[in-house]
């Protein structure tokens, strides 16, 4: 029998467990108990896995299957990859930490796998915000420029 623990609290049983809504620093491990008395040891704990991630979300936009910014942090050259299973109107804009718009793309119809190259090489190191508009729905992701 498998038992799954998050922060020492039993959360599930079964051969697999999917941890949704991960919280930074959470500790996860599994306990396996044999159903036969001749097993030695009868109960074994897995190694503890600690989450070290920051979860950011892309809103649920009908037709959007994938959205990736890479690299991030970047040295002034980055790309935005997106995969759409429906034709959508896409627009990108970037603002600096003071709210000044430093980049804007033309609004374009896209479908399928697309990659948008963006050059920020002439701008200073720092925090920027990529605003993506897909058929009128807007979401923002942080970008770090570090040359």
CATH code of residue 102 = 2.60.40.2550
- Do residues 78 and 120 make contact, with C-beta atoms less than 8 angstroms apart? yes
Instruction: Tell me the pLDDT of the chain averaged across its residues.
Output: 89
pLDDT at res. 52: 67
Mean pLDDT of 133-145: 90
* Domain extent for 39: 2-50
Neighbours of 132 (CB within 10 A): 23
pTM: 0.61
Q: Do 69 and 42 belong to one domain? A: no
Asked if 45 and 72 sit in the same domain, the reply is: no
**Are 89 and 129 part of one and the same domain?**
yes
- Which tens digits make up the pLDDT trace of 33-89? 998 888 888 999 999 988 765 445 566 788 898 899 999 999 999 999 999 999 999
The answer to whether residue 59 is domain-embedded is no
Instruction: Give the Cα separation of 120 and 12 in Å (integer).
Output: 46
Does 77 share its domain with 133? Answer: yes
Percent of the chain with pLDDT over 70: 92
Write down the pLDDT at residue 55: 47
Quick one: pLDDT at residue 72?
92
In a domain, 98, yes or no: yes
Residue range 108-120, pLDDT digits in tens: 999 999 999 999 9
Residue 30 lies in a domain: yes
Distance CA 75, CA 121 (A): 7
């Amino acid at each position: 029998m498998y038992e799954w623990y998050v922060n020492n609290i039993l959360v599930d049983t079964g051969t697999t467990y999917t941890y949704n809504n991960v919280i930074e620093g959470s500790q996860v491990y599994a306990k396996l108990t044999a159903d036969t008395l001749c097993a030695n040891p009868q109960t074994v704990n897995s190694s503890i896995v600690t989450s070290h991630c920051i979860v950011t979300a892309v809103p649920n936009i009908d037709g959007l299957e994938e959205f990736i910014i890479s690299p991030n942090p970047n040295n002034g050259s980055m790309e935005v990859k997106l995969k759409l299973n429906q034709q959508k109107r896409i627009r990108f804009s970037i603002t600096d930490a003071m709210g000044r718009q430093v980049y804007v793309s033309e609004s374009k119809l896209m479908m399928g796998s697309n990659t948008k190259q963006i050059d920020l090489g002439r701008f200073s190191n720092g925090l920027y915000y990529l605003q993506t508009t897909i058929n009128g729905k807007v979401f923002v992701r942080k970008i770090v420029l570090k040359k």
